[in-house]
Amino acid sequence: MKNFLQFNMREPKEGECKISYSQFSMYSTCPKHWELAYVKGLRTFNQSIHTLFGTCLHETLQEYLTVMYTESIKKADSIDFKAVLKDKMFTQYKKAMEQMGKHFSNKFELNEFYDDGVAILEWIRKRRAEYFSSKHEELVGIEVPIYHPVGHEGRPVFMMGFLDVVIRNTKTNRITILDIKTSGNGWNKYQKADKLKASQLVLYKEYFGEQFGIDKESIDIKYFIVKRKLIEGAMFPQKRVQEFIPASGKPTRKKLLTEINAFVESSFKEDGSYNTEREYPAIAGKNYKHCKYCEFAEDDELCPMKNRIKLK
């Protein structure tokens, strides 16, 4: 299976425009934000303790799964999570700080997140069999690349993404795509109902099937959500892992494809360059919710407050 995927992987070519799901998500939330960040090229590198922790926990858990599936459970269980996670967080923080030119956290916060990460990894190791089995499963890949055309045929705009974990059931031949998410207390009903949040894996399911010629109905998707914190004094058993399976049937995928194709066809020209001739409205959302995490929220020259559309 791994050799089959490698044979069907397509490398980007010169002149092609690469987009990500996060771009589509940004555009869907506020077209003006996307225009300023990408069309005008004003986006800046901005790391946070949350993104740093997410990256480092991803990599550590992926390392554990790689050893478990390709070598042995015993060897995977012998991995020193404390040392691996600590080294990754230190290296990542140093790299991010050099890029940003300033500190964005402190030793107390870093230690808190580190301790949370160790607790998560130890919890998963003890309950590994509930989520991962080497008996009828094989690891297809870690960070499996997706590179698929978007919009009209021939338009050089491609969606680029990476699948955290891809597993195949050797008994049923079904594929499972896992997306690892780090969260404070898990996803609540509102986060689960957030279509933009849940649709990333839905799109990846569609493109994965298309790219590798796999029946989409034989592909399962699942968000593997790990919680940093548990509720203190709870009267019921708590888990560090929350699994969420979004709807991903053909109608759901078709609707999503229509939306992302519309984004590309209205925002990119036939040659793949940005469409600078159209207007990109600033959608502030209810109570200016969309402006809360926007890097241009305080820049009234680039995004005048009077032009922002506030929704009810």
Rounded mean pLDDT, 282-305: 93
Rounded Cα distance between 200 and 178, Å, is 11
Task: Provide the whole-model pTM.
Answer: 0.92
Could you say which of 134, 167, 183 is where a domain stops?
134
Domain co-membership, 161 together with 108: no
Q: Do 263 and 194 lie in a common domain?
A: yes
What is the reported pLDDT for 15? 83
Residue 62 pLDDT greater than 80, yes or no:
yes
Claim to verify: residue 147 and residue 259 sit in the same structural domain: yes
CB 96 within 8 A of CB 53: no
CA distances from residue 208 to 2, 113, 190, 215, 312 in whole angstroms, order as listed: 14, 33, 27, 10, 37
CA distance 67 to 59: 12
Q: Determine the pLDDT at residue 134.
A: 85
Strand partners, 19: 159
Whether residue 179 sits in one domain with residue 148? yes
pLDDT at 237: 80
Question: Which is nearest to 156 in space by CA: 270, 280, 67?
Answer: 270
User: In the predicted model, what is the mean pLDDT of residues 199-212?
Assistant: 95
CA 93/CA 158 separation, integer angstroms: 31
Per the structure, the count of domains in the chain is 2
Alpha-carbon 89 to chain mean position: 19
Residue 183 has pLDDT above 70, yes or no: yes
Residue 152 pLDDT: 72
Angle of CA points 68, 69, 75, to nearest 5°: 25
Question: Are residues 155 and 121 located together in one domain of the fold?
Answer: no
CB 64 within 8 A of CB 180: no
CA distance 168 to 138: 5
Phi, psi (rounded to 5 degrees) for 271:
-90, 5
- Judge if 67 and 96 occupy the same domain: yes
Does residue 160 surpass a pLDDT of 60? yes
Q: Answer whether residue 226 is part of any domain.
A: yes
- Overall average pLDDT of the 118-127 stretch: 96
Average pLDDT, the chain: 92
Range of the domain at 68: 47-134
CA dihedral defined by 18, 20, 25, 27, rounded to 10 degrees? -20
3-state helix vs strand vs coil in the chain, percent to 5: 50, 20, 35
Residue 161 contacts residue 12 (beta carbons within 8 Å) = no
230-258: pLDDT as tens digits: 877 667 788 999 999 999 999 999 999 99
Kind plus residue range of the DSSP H or E element containing 50: helix 49-70
Which of 134, 156, 177 lies at the terminal end of a domain, its last residue? 134
Stronger pLDDT, 100 or 31, i.e. the higher one? 31
pLDDT for residue 5: 58
154 and 53 in a single domain? The answer is no
Is the pLDDT at 182 greater than 90, yes or no? Answer: yes
Same domain, 176 and 267: yes
Question: Residue 220 domain-assigned?
Answer: yes
Q: Is the pLDDT reported for residue 143 higher than 60?
A: yes
Judge whether residue 153 has pLDDT over 80: no
Averaged pLDDT, 47-64: 96
Asked if residue 111 belongs to a domain, the reply is yes
Does residue 294 sit within a domain?
Answer: no
Q: Which of 73-87, 90-104, 137-151 has the highest mean pLDDT?
A: 73-87
The three-point CA angle 264-268-272 to 5° equals 110
